[in-house]
Amino acid sequence: MNPLNAACYADRAIWCRAPVVENLVIAESTFRVRIPCPELARRIIPGQFVMLRLAERSDPLLARPFALYDTYRDAGELAGIDVVYLVKGRFTTAMSRCGAGTEVEIWGPLGNGFSSRPVEHLIMVAGGIGQTPFLALGAEFLGRKRFGEPERERGTARRVTFCYGARRSSMLAGLDDFRNQGIDVRVATDDGSAGHHGFVTDLLRQLLEGEVSLAQARIACCGPEPMMAAVARIAKEAGVACELSLETPMACGIGVCFTCVARIRTDHAEGWDYKRTCVEGPVFDATQVLL
């Protein structure tokens, strides 16, 4: 038992240093980096994350958190993980300039991951780069992939729909990856250059209006906070269970520094307390999160 009773301490995380296999542009300012780390790949589950930094570089000194996008195989064996990232600041700019063979340090798996409770219809809702945890989750629920060691009880769903919002069509990343897993992809863009012209929450509302049994559906959501707040509201009004994956900034990823706290409902006198997203999350029940 860990000393501070966090739900998911980094007890099962492993550290490794590895040369990246490839680092490809897959959409505007968006890259997919492939990292050989077989032991980590065997343990990780959808919604968990890794900390990543460039080896032998002190700028930036601190690693950054990135969700599992997918695992990959080499000669039939589980060989490593793919991370998809948006170029934003110091680390992702430096990473985007690196080619195959660049040494990175990676540790994980970290955090709790999405629940694997079976459901009739899993609805995944993402804004921008918040899409990264959903390929693995959708593939697992449709029976295309298994994750975790020991293998976790696999989530199952009859249908998996992915509502994906981006600023413009050039920023939509990995659409074919999702479609190839049998996931029903619905797209919204702010400028109307692809799919629905408007917010991704419009797609969610349309979907829920046509849903046969809301009690049989569950939403999993990741993206900017205002969008997650809107999704949590829609889910509550419709009476649909909803999980949010929070992307708070993180310095350590292992429960030590408290930079990652979010306000979570508790039975404290104030009705909430700060919880560390890295070890109590990043996935929380939407009804528990004060956004």
Q: Nearer Cβ to ligand FES, position 85 or 178?
A: 85
The one among 76, 89, 99, 210 contacting ligand FAD by CB under 6 A: 89
User: Is residue 82 involved in binding ligand FAD (CB under 6 A)?
Assistant: no
Q: Nearer Cβ to ligand FAD, position 83 or 185?
A: 83
DSSP secondary structure letters along 198-210: S-HHHHHHHHHHH
Q: Nearer Cβ to ligand FES, position 68 or 252?
A: 252
Residue 271 CB partners (closer than 8 Å, separation 6+) = 265
The H or E element spanning position 66 is strand 64-67
User: Is residue 58 involved in binding ligand FAD (CB under 6 A)?
Assistant: no
Q: Nearer Cβ to ligand FAD, position 58 or 213?
A: 58
The one among 19, 101, 249, 271 contacting ligand FAD by CB under 6 A: 249
User: Is residue 65 involved in binding ligand FAD (CB under 6 A)?
Assistant: yes
Q: Phi/psi at 204 (nearest 5 deg)?
A: -65, -45
Least distance CB 165 / ligand FAD (angstroms): 16
- Cα of 271 vs its chain's centroid, Å: 28
User: Is residue 61 involved in binding ligand FAD (CB under 6 A)?
Assistant: no
Window of 72-80, 88-96, 135-143, 190-198 that interacts with ligand FAD by CB under 6 A: 88-96
Residue 249, sorted as left (phi over 0), alpha (psi -120 to 50) or beta, turns out to be: beta
Residue 96, CB-side half-sphere exposure with 13 Å CA sphere: 17
Of 222, 174, 233, 165, nearest in space to 196 by CA: 165
Q: Nearer Cβ to ligand FAD, position 90 or 197?
A: 90
In single-letter form, the type of residue at position 252 comes to: C
Per-residue x/- mask for ligand FAD, residues 121 to 160, rule CB under 6 A? --------x--x----------------------------
Greatest alpha-carbon pair distance for the chain in Å reads 56
The one among 17, 90, 117, 197 contacting ligand FAD by CB under 6 A: 90
Q: Nearer Cβ to ligand FES, position 163 or 252?
A: 252
Instruction: Give the single-character DSSP code of 286.
Output: G
Instruction: Give the single-character DSSP code of 250.
Output: -
d(CA 80, CA 230): 35
Helix 200-210 with 225-238: angle, nearest 10 deg: 10
User: Is residue 66 involved in binding ligand FAD (CB under 6 A)?
Assistant: yes
- What residues make contact with ligand FAD under the rule CB under 6 A? 49, 60, 64-67, 83-86, 88-92, 129, 132, 247-250, 282
